[in-house]
Amino acid sequence: MPIPPINVSKLILKIYLGRRNFGKLFHGSPNNKNRGFSGNKHFKQPKQHNPNIWNFPNANNNPNIGGQVEGLLNQFGLGNQLTHQIGGLINGISANFFAPNPNSPIPPHVQRRIMRFCSRNPNHPKCQGHPEWILPQGSIPAAPNVGNAFDLNSIFPNLVNFHLTPVPQLPLQNLLNGVPNILQQVVVPLVGQITAIAKQAILNICSQRGDCLKQKPESLNMRASIAEQEAAIARAHHPGRPQEQLDNEVELRLARTFQVKKALIRKAGLEGHVEPANNGVYQEDILLTEQQANALINQINQNSAGVGVVPQPSRFKRAGNSLYLEGVPNQQWPLGQPIQYMFDVSVTSEADKNAVRQAINEIQSRVQCLSFREVNSKPTGSHLYYVKYALPGFCGQSYVGRLDVVNPIYLSFGCGNPAGIALHETLHALGLQHEQLRIDRDRFITINWQNVNPQKYDAFAVSDATKFTSYGVRYDYGSIMHYSSTIATQNFGQKTMTAKINPQSNDPIMGQRNGLSETDVVELRRMYCMPECKDNNVYCGIWAVSNLCYSQDGFAQGWMLQNCRKSCSFCGN
């Protein structure tokens, strides 16, 4: 029996997005009898309305969307064969488009491009024999409107046979050579390590949930969506490079990001129990370059304290909750000249643009050595590039530190204070990291591991001490770079972090997005306004906040005076 001419496309999209109100979809509009099922002779109204009939579990949390729909349609008297056809169709679309397999030799974002092309051109020779590439008419999700490039979906892409190359082995160096013993004793444990109590709490959660090894559809959906945005922007900024090369580079970055998260799980002793979310981001909102990911994997895999990956000009090395710019001057934005920024074509609303401008004005008004200039066409040098990107549950994403040519900053403009979100993501691009992942964070917050989503473990793994510095700035619960106390929780509203100092006052201010805190300003000034004052060791920040600038050990104090001038404020403030 063929599927009757119902509006399957709206059914698929609304159910996939987890919308609750399906009344108009099924019962049709009073002004249009052909919308929904009410104008279909095969449809039978249910005898009695059930107020819970529309309340599916969110489809983003359930890969068997089709099975949920089959059960619902059976309640409306549709035949089993028909409902099975519809359910199978929905499952196929959710699996192939919304949650494409990242292990396929064709990268997920290229799979989507193929499906858009073949859905519009089902009789094209390259689409023949591939029904899995063809979506029902009217249900083709729109392509990203970014980059102002030609429509990549108007041509059949060359099938990219992606092959993930091994992670390169990078040279290591001992960062503690010549450092006084009293200072070496303060060096923190290795990145990725957790206590036995924390590990057991995560194992208990997974035992109760039973799904810690399953990838969630919403994670795969986000990964593919990020890749589509990145590929479109790469095309716009590198028009002379082959699209296949750009697609491979995008896929490599996302694959490496997942390898970083798996390395953290392995280091924590959770391999085989937890599969991290393959959603394309690190620590919830950070995009990693290939070089950053390679360096992190090498650092996680080594087991000696005080040993770090050697920074090289072509490698992007991150630092503290701020970049250790002395180690990677190529990631610092040039001093003495405005940082250029522009809006992608996706940012059309003046309200959205003004939110970004408000964030930028706050930075340059409070950190006088930093200035910005808005441009309307692509500049030749590095610049910030603001993109509007709407995805359920998404607020913003950014890279950390200056990138060559373009720093894309993705914003939904749909979360809380849009200017505050723009400010947070812009500070990532300037080199600031998350406050709650500082290497001294355990002095100030308690991680409630029993409430943490195990698949988002990377959101709580303390940052690598060889890559990150505080520049001697104290921990700040109210930093705009701090996450909220419920970030990455497994149950809505449960706290994953609690302040150790005055939690009644400090818990509520975690995650504020109202503006820069005083410590945010101090940190930016130390990063950018003191070019003649330098730290010679990435650990200077932790030694400074450990009150070792004026050590009773004469040799240590002399060493700090010579090598940690910035973190210890020996050059002034």
pLDDT at 116: 92
C-alpha to C-alpha distance for 22 and 11, rounded to whole angstroms: 8
Query: Is 452 in a helix, a strand, or coil?
Result: strand
The CB-side HSE value for 85 (13 A sphere, CA atoms) comes to 12
Query: Which 3 state secondary structure label does DSSP give 228?
Result: helix
Question: Angle at which helices 217-237 and 243-267 pack, to 10 degrees?
Answer: 140
**Is the pLDDT confidence value at 216 over 60?**
yes
Catalytic annotation present for 425: yes
Highest mean pLDDT among 63-67, 164-168, 388-392: 164-168
φ/ψ of 407, rounded to 5, equals: -110, 95
- With beta carbons less than 8 A apart as the criterion, state whether 428 and 400 touch: yes
Q: How far apart are CA 375 and CA 358, in angstroms?
A: 16
Q: Position 326: which residue type?
A: E
Token pair, residue 566, equals 């910035």
Residue 324 has a pLDDT of: 54
How far apart (Å, rounded) are the C-alpha atoms in residues 219 and 392?
11
Q: Minimum mean pLDDT among 14-28, 453-467, 470-484, 504-518: which range?
A: 14-28
pLDDT at 222: 94
Q: What is the mean pLDDT of residues 169-178?
A: 89
**CA dist 196 to 262, 368, 436, 500, Å?**
19, 46, 21, 20
Tell the burial category of 531 from Cβ atoms under 10 Å away from its Cβ (0-12, 13-18, 19+).
Answer: exposed
Whole-number Å distance between alpha carbons of 202 and 198: 6
For residue 252, the tally of other CB atoms under 10 A from its CB is 17
Average pLDDT score over residue span 138-162? 81
- Residue 78 in this model has a pLDDT that exceeds 50: no
pLDDT at 464 over 80: no
Q: Which amino acid, one-letter code, is at 497?
A: M
Is the predicted pLDDT of residue 92 greater than 80, yes or no? no
Closest CA to 428 of 443, 405, 409, 445: 409
- Of residues 335 and 476, more confidence is placed in 476
Written as six digits, the tokens of 50 are: 């059930």
Q: What is the mean pLDDT of residues 189-201?
A: 86
| DSSP annotation of 538 | T
Known binding residue 428? Answer is yes
Identify the top-confidence range among 42-46, 56-60, 241-245, 419-423.
419-423
84 is in an annotated binding site: no
pLDDT tens digits, one per residue of 403-432: 988 999 999 999 999 999 999 999 999 999
Q: What is the DSSP string of 82-130?
A: HHHHHHHHHHHHIIIIIS--TTSSS-HHHHHHHHHHHHH-TTSGGGTT-
Is residue 322 a contact partner of residue 427, using CB atoms and an 8 Å limit? no
For the chain, give the percent of residues with pLDDT over 90. Answer: 60
| Arithmetic mean of pLDDT, 1-6 | 38
Could you give the residue ranges of the DSSP H alpha helices within 194-276?
A: 196-209, 217-237, 243-267
The predicted model scores a pTM of 0.83
pLDDT of residue 467: 73
Rounded CA separation 521/473 (Å): 10
Q: Name the residue with higher pLDDT: 39 or 115.
A: 115
Hey, is 383 helix, strand or coil?
Answer: strand
Alpha-helix residue ranges (DSSP H) falling in 431-553: 503-509, 518-528, 540-545
pLDDT value for 311: 62
What is the C-alpha separation between 524 and 184, in angstroms, rounded? 27
CB burial of 287-309 (b: ≥16 within 10 Å; e: otherwise) equals bbbbbbbbbbbbbbebeeebebb
pLDDT at 392 over 90: no
Q: Which of 74-83, 320-329, 422-431, 488-497 has the lowest mean pLDDT?
A: 74-83
Confidence of residue 260 (pLDDT cuts 50, 70, 90): very high
* Nearest in space to 60 (alpha carbons), one of 281, 278, 211, 216: 216
Q: Which residue has the higher pLDDT, 309 or 222?
A: 222
DSSP string, 308-340: EEPP-TTS----SSEE-TTT-GGGSPPTTSPEE
Closest C-alpha to 426, from 407, 413, 412, 403: 407
Q: Which residue has the higher pLDDT, 329 or 382?
A: 382
Tell me the percentage of the chain whose pLDDT exceeds 70. 78
CA distances from 215 to 58, 203, 433, 440, 458 (A): 15, 17, 27, 32, 15
Q: Tell whether 163 is in a known binding site.
A: no
Q: Can you give the pLDDT at residue 62? A: 40
Query: How far apart are alpha carbons 248 and 448 in whole angstroms?
Result: 39
Mean pLDDT, range 378-399, rounded to an integer: 92
Q: What pLDDT score was predicted for residue 90?
A: 47
Task: Determine which one of 275, 425, 435, 523 is catalytic.
Answer: 425
What is the pLDDT averaged over residues 122-149?
86
To 5 degrees, how large is the angle CA 427–CA 430–CA 432? 60
Q: Which of helix, strand or coil describes residue 292?
A: helix
DSSP 175: T
Q: Would you say residue 173 has pLDDT above 90?
A: no
Of 308 and 291, the one with more pLDDT: 291
Residue 57 has pLDDT above 70, yes or no: no
Domains, the chain, with CATH or none = 1-98 (no CATH), 172-563 (3.40.390.10)
**Mean pLDDT to the nearest integer, 173-197:** 85
Band (370; pLDDT cuts 50, 70, 90): very high
